[in-house]
Structure 1
């Protein structure tokens, strides 16, 4: 795959989402592409992102000015591919103009959030040559192409090496919806069985913690000392993950698509405890490797932690790698049937 994109020019718009935009850009460049990257959103402040979702009209002037500047910078360039993630802020006028400027370019959109959370995206779907989504239900409802997310080389390296295990259970993530209550239940079960647990539960601010504890039942029974209010540096996260046997993943209740963390654990050969029942239909699912729990009645069978991990077939696993993901979205894979999902 090293030179599949040699001398190809790609316009890449993607919101800042941890370092995934950098990972995708690095993958495209490694395969030989020349990439022009722009943040899909004009601003990443909490206030700006909130206004974008509540009512796009509040930030229309800011968005238009930002995309006019992009248009001026790229007006004399010709692209082979236009690759956009989310398109929540991207104006329809920009999409139409960029297509006119590059009539032979393949223009694709990737959604890694449910359409229900992307109200500004629906009206733009027909402007793309193909729209991909990680959510099977959205694909069936809106006629999109199903494409799960990816793991990068960092997680492949974790799978290759065999470090000394320190933790039986690992979780690092933002605490939303019912995550705290589920994590609390899993932790209690593991500690009852004398298994080591590492939880890093993140909330953006102490004010938000007190608001949620006061106004919702999400954090009932919690103590502020259980939470962190700064994100964990990525190198620390990777180090802790290497030392862990199993990872817990709790998707948002309104979401059916597999999270990035789920696919990353596939790459890292880690056992997974998840609330996402839809995972049993994927081609990499094996009950030795993945434990599905009921979010209303959380039970992790004790034998799950003692059964051996069953390696996933290399051809199946490769389809979830970041390089294959890029080539698939750009329409360059030989197999375009997207057979990730196996009905049972």
Structure 2
């Protein structure tokens, strides 16, 4: 099958899917990573013009630029069997409408909620089929439900440096991480919480605040060194993050604020502990529980193979 994957691959997670489809499934795959496209305003006036577009017309010069550059690449390639677009809400609608000219089928996958990214509501209907990891969006906008995917494998490590770890960007989760660090210290639990700071000057004695973004390989190295992973879901988002699927692939225990995880078939209270964002209390006995393997037939549904089978079914 000839496949083009169009994605804003800021963490390199989509590259894992591309490599799987190329190397394991033997498809011909082209990856258009528009995160690598560098848009620059030509002048102060173009910034003002973009402000007017965004405010009054729900348009964005950067999104238009992404769409134009993507179309240039599509025009140079053979007609595809499938164009799969991830984060299509970052691309101008007029470009998305033309994707069908270059493929037998144009499919979208959204792993953000429309509450956080309202442009999803505007673009999803211009694909032949749209998938979302957000259940409410599927219900409200006639999309098909699909989670993120497992891209990791168990390393069989038993000699851990940390009992729990997390890597996050600086946002509203910062205070919760601080509170959790206090709670874990009381329990004498060894943790490693890394936060990539933004322009605001946050300070913390219990968190590692860094200036430079970690690579996916560096994050996974920390994951391997940790017995348990911490997941803090974003505000206004119920879809399961990649952190959860990293824990499944690594066969590691998970502590999460996402209560909806209890509705999934892989949920096991011995492996997954759900905490409240406002009052993050953890029972120390959870860290003493051994991980229980998830049945293979359940786990397979969330692998890249299972995920792609759903996309193409």
User: Could you say which residue in structure 2 is the equivalent of 1:171?
Assistant: 166
Deviations 1:123-160 (A, max 9, x none): 222222211111112111111111010111xx2132xx
Task: Report if the CA contact (8 A) 1:40-1:87 is conserved.
Answer: no
Pairs within 5 Å for 1:188-227:
188-204=182-198, 208-210=199-201, 222=204, 226-227=208-209
Say yes or no: does 1:157 pair with 2:166: no
Secondary structure of 1:117's counterpart equals coil
Secondary structure of 1:83's counterpart equals strand
Task: Report if the CA contact (8 A) 1:13-1:37 is conserved.
Answer: yes
Deviations 1:193-221 (A, max 9, x none): 222111111114xxx123xx5xxxxxxx7
Rounded Cα–Cα distance in structure 2 between residues aligned with 1:46 and 1:310 = 50
Q: TM-score, normalised by structure 1?
A: 0.80
Task: Report if the CA contact (8 A) 1:163-1:242 is conserved.
Answer: no
Q: TM-score, normalised by structure 2?
A: 0.87
Rounded Cα–Cα distance in structure 2 between residues aligned with 1:225 and 1:307 = 26
TM-superposed CA distance for 1:110, in Å, is 0.2
Deviations 1:28-48 (A, max 9, x none): 112011112212467457999
Pairs within 5 Å for 1:1-344:
8-30=1-23, 31-40=25-34, 43=37, 55-59=58-62, 62-63=65-66, 65-74=68-77, 77-102=78-103, 105-152=104-151, 155-158=152-155, 161-177=156-172, 179-204=173-198, 208-210=199-201, 222=204, 226-331=208-313
TM-superposed CA distance for 1:70, in Å, is 2.5
Secondary structure of 2:213's counterpart equals coil
User: Could you say which residue in structure 1 is the equivalent of 2:44?
Assistant: none
Distance 1:121 1:190, change over 3 A: closer
Task: Report if the CA contact (8 A) 2:82-2:106 is conserved.
Answer: yes
Secondary structure of 2:108's counterpart equals strand
TM-superposed CA distance for 1:224, in Å, is 10
Rounded Cα–Cα distance in structure 2 between residues aligned with 1:194 and 1:61 = 52
Task: Report if the CA contact (8 A) 1:56-1:120 is conserved.
Answer: no
CA RMSD of aligned residues (A): 2.7
Task: Report if the CA contact (8 A) 1:283-1:316 is conserved.
Answer: yes
Task: Report if the CA contact (8 A) 1:284-1:317 is conserved.
Answer: yes
Rounded Cα–Cα distance in structure 2 between residues aligned with 1:288 and 1:271 = 8
Rounded Cα–Cα distance in structure 2 between residues aligned with 1:318 and 1:36 = 25
Rounded Cα–Cα distance in structure 2 between residues aligned with 1:53 and 1:25 = 33
Aligned residues: 302
Task: Report if the CA contact (8 A) 2:162-2:226 is conserved.
Answer: yes
